[in-house]
Chains A and B, each alone.
Chain A
Amino acid sequence: METNRRVFLKVAGLATLGFMVTKPALDVFARGQFGEASVGEALDPPHEVGTTTKWGMAVNLTACSEKDGCTACTDACHDYHNVPDIDNKEEEIKWIWTAPYEKVFPEHGNEFIEDDLRGSEVMVLCNHCEHPPCIKVCPTRATWKREDGIVMMDFHRCIGCRYCMAGCPYGARSFNWKDPRPFIKETNPDFPTRTRGVVEKCNFCAKRLSKGLQPACVEACPEKALTFGNLLDDHSELREILATHTIVRRLPELGTEPNVYYYKAD
């Protein structure tokens, strides 16, 4: 009568109580399960949580700045993820936003730079760093790095100490100073809102990836300036771009090794 799944439930319950010993075993189990069933239209390569995948993104600076004042990616992301629209610099919440080129790449802030870049707005988001400083400081492991490189946030576990915000040098994390719900115009039931008192940020559209969809921002960009893909796949479009362009990453001197790359198209 009692099924394996129910036994597993109990084991999983114990594991969440902190018996870290069982975690590797569960991970193996988890991977096995995940491979079996992929739903929807598949990304190339298959989107598997595992060491064969490392998600990354390339941003075409030229194409992106083509249309000044375009907010397509931000809107798509914020609509999908129920990001509240708080019109107040002090309390605003942002997953994707833009900042002046000189601020995004302070080390490129030379006295004389290319005219097309000077003052242009650059699209920025969480870098999903290779060595994320934010996860090292989280006291409850509410933010951690998945095996596929995504720096995840568990809104259920966050206690709102904001230490990760102190850890992140990019300012990619936002805190819910007040209840976000009144500031969401249209709620997308596919994705939860947050409560007041937790930290949030871009999650590379982990839920969309699991359905085999591209991240919302990539899909929404009218200039096709964003390329998303697996950095460990030698033949991916992303790797192709990275191999043939001069690329930059943000604050390379800090050793965080962002997985979001910026390049100028020819």
Chain B
Amino acid sequence: MYDAGKIISGIIIFFILVSFPIWISAASGTIGDVPELNLPADEEQCVEDAEWMRANHMDLLIDWRETVVREGVRVYTASDGKEYNMSLTDTCLDCHSPKAEFCDQCHDYVAAVPNCWSCHVDPGGS
């Protein structure tokens, strides 16, 4: 092999660069950490089923926002026919407060930064 030194160091640099995220995580010691959600004990199900909520809660919240603020309608009929008051603070945070033990867990984990909390207030939060 010609220029063995350059070739080998090139390959090593490439793999170090690409695997950079792993080293960062390993260095911070959080590599195995998984979000821990504080789920309400007395409720079986969210307004929709949990899997759907996990993926689509942001659309639901935006829809609620538009419906409540712009149309003055406050009642949400879920797919199982149950009715809910469309309110982030009254309905969502009723079960999921404080948000630090629910919302923030995943949002911090996947670095999704919602702008809800610049206005809305978590009654259970400090």
Residues of A within 8 A of B (CB): 3-6, 9, 12-13, 16, 26-27, 30, 33-34, 36-37, 39, 49, 82, 144, 146-148, 152, 154-156, 187-190, 192-195, 206, 210
Contacts and interface: CB of A to CB of B under 8 A. Distances in A.
A147 B60 CA distance: 25
Interface residues of B, number: 29
Contact of B122 (A3, A12, A39, A189): A189
B121 interface: yes
A147 B71 CA distance: 9
Contacts of B77: 5, 33
A30 B72 contact: yes
B34 interface: no
A156 B69 contact: yes
Which residue among B63, B65, B70, B85 has the maximum number of chain A CB atoms within 10 Å of its CB? B70
A210 B74 CA distance: 8
B25 to A, nearest CB: 33
Given A3-B79, A49-B71, A194-B119, 9 more contacts: A5-B79, A6-B79, A34-B72, A49-B72, A144-B70, A148-B72, A156-B65, A187-B121, A195-B119
Contacts of A146: 72
- Minimum-distance CB pairs A-B, first 8: A3-B79, A189-B123, A192-B119, A49-B72, A189-B121, A30-B73, A30-B71, A37-B75
